[in-house]
A and B are shown apart, each in its own frame.
Chain A
Amino acid sequence: MRGERRLFSNVNVTVQPGTVLAVVGENGSGKTSLLRMLTSLLPPEEGAILWNGQDIRQLKEDYSAHLTYIGHLNGVKDDLSAIENLTVTADLTGDQHSLPSVQEALESVGLKRRVHHLPTRVLSQGQKRRVALARLWLSTHPLWLLDEPFTSLDTAATGLVTERIRLHLQSGGLAVVVTHHEVALPPEVVQQLRLNG
């Protein structure tokens, strides 16, 4: 619900390992709200969200241990460098990391070494987004929930992130992506959910 308006109802969808659910729809149709429900940040008015057959509200932290969430806000601290941001986040999410692996993750998302140590506040929006998305290269969580991951990214970075998602699916992971962009993945691994608001 948003105010008095019901954003969506009767959503019944199952996401299998190795596939991605692309949530599409107009602005205000509730895509981000749906994604936040999948994170457990927002409780649904009715119904349940199940992970391996169990309600995520009951699983609590045991569910969080399976997911990597990148929201439309980057979750990046402006006063910390890209390396510090990624290191601190990996500490908190429990992802294994070392300085070389953090640098490698940042390079994998197209951030050159010369910006790794700069405070994030001096980076462009696209570069900040890349810092946030570099988490995907360190993540070992099976479920990725991504809210407009390609926003602010150029074509090259979009390609890098798409490739990372493809590798994640290939290794048995699953993802839910809210996007306005076409997800350039093989059609057999993409399931689309359109919200009409």
Chain B
Amino acid sequence: MSRPGLWDAVRGVVRRDLMLAMRRPSDVAMSVFFLVIVASLFPLGVGPEPAVLKTIAAGVLWVAALLACLLSLGRVFTADYLDGVLEQMVLIAQPLPVLVVGKVFAHWVVSGLPVVVLSPFLGLQFGLDGEALWTLVLSLLLGTPTLSMIGAIGAALVLGVRGSGLLVALLVLPLYVPVLIFGAGAVTGSMAGVGGEANLSLLGACLVLSLFFAPWATAAGLRIALE
């Protein structure tokens, strides 16, 4: 009998997914381009008035980040489901929820982290100052993993279902609302001079909650999909 160590198994899942992402850079680039294009269209459409752009900056950037994350959700489990890797993963002799955390972490690295890294540059387009930019980065750093965690639940639940792209959006978007409110609220608060700490704390709480509950819900969804 042989079984992997817990850390070895999680590392194996992350390593495989990151290797696959590097082999298909177009998948990663798609989310990034989407974010850049959406965030760049707003100044073109709304006009170059700095005051207007500053007012809408937090909401626009957060909605764009949220939609970019949503766009990548289909990649979390679908390929593994179709090629049989998912059923192998479910049969690894370590708790599935922990392996799910590894999988979602890899997803965040290729879809959420680029959003965080790009966000200050996009924020500059909207005329955000240094503190607001810093708050934007922090809020996305706390918020995008939460989006990935919540999104994984939806992705698992619609696995193998026809028209799953739309369905996952319907399932997940309402659950994204608190993250969006706290994320955009943190940046707006920072711009208004009242600070974004309260909203950032709430985002942190959302992340902790999602880290605690989402892996179990996702694991249950995956088991149901494989039955």
Contact = CB atoms under 8 A, between A and B. Distances in A.
Contacts of B226: 41-42
Contacts of A84: 19
A91 interface: yes
A41 B81 CA distance: 13
Given A41-B226, A43-B227, A64-B92, A74 B4 contact: no
Interface of A is mostly: loop
Nearest to A69: B91
A89 B82 CA distance: 17
Contacts of A89: 88
A77 interface: yes
Given A66-B1, A94-B4, A141-B1, A74 B92 contact: no
A39 B1 contact: no
Interface stretch (B8-16, B141-149, B167-175): B8-16
Interface residues of B, number: 32
A191 B20 CA distance: 41
Of A66, A71, A72, A93, most B-chain CB atoms within 10 Å: A93
Contacts of A92: 4, 9, 12-13, 16, 88-89, 92
B1 A65 contact: yes
Contacts of A71: 84, 87-88
B83 interface: yes
Contacts of B15: 88, 91
Interface of B is mostly: helix
A77 B20 contact: yes
B23 A80 contact: yes
A4 interface: no
Contact of B4 (A78, A93, A140): A93
Contacts of A88: 12, 15-16, 19
A77 B85 contact: yes
A181 B8 CA distance: 37
A96 interface: yes
B84 A74 contact: yes
Given A94-B3, A141-B1, A62 B93 contact: yes
Interface of A: 39-43, 61-62, 64-67, 69, 71-80, 84, 88-89, 91-96, 119, 140-142
30 contacts: A41-B90, A41-B227, A61-B94, A65-B1, A65-B2, A67-B91, A69-B87, A71-B88, A73-B82, A74-B83, A75-B83, A77-B85, A79-B23, A79-B24, A80-B20, A88-B12, A88-B15, A88-B16, A89-B88, A91-B4, A91-B8, A91-B15, A92-B12, A92-B13, A92-B88, A92-B92, A93-B2, A94-B2, A94-B3, A95-B2
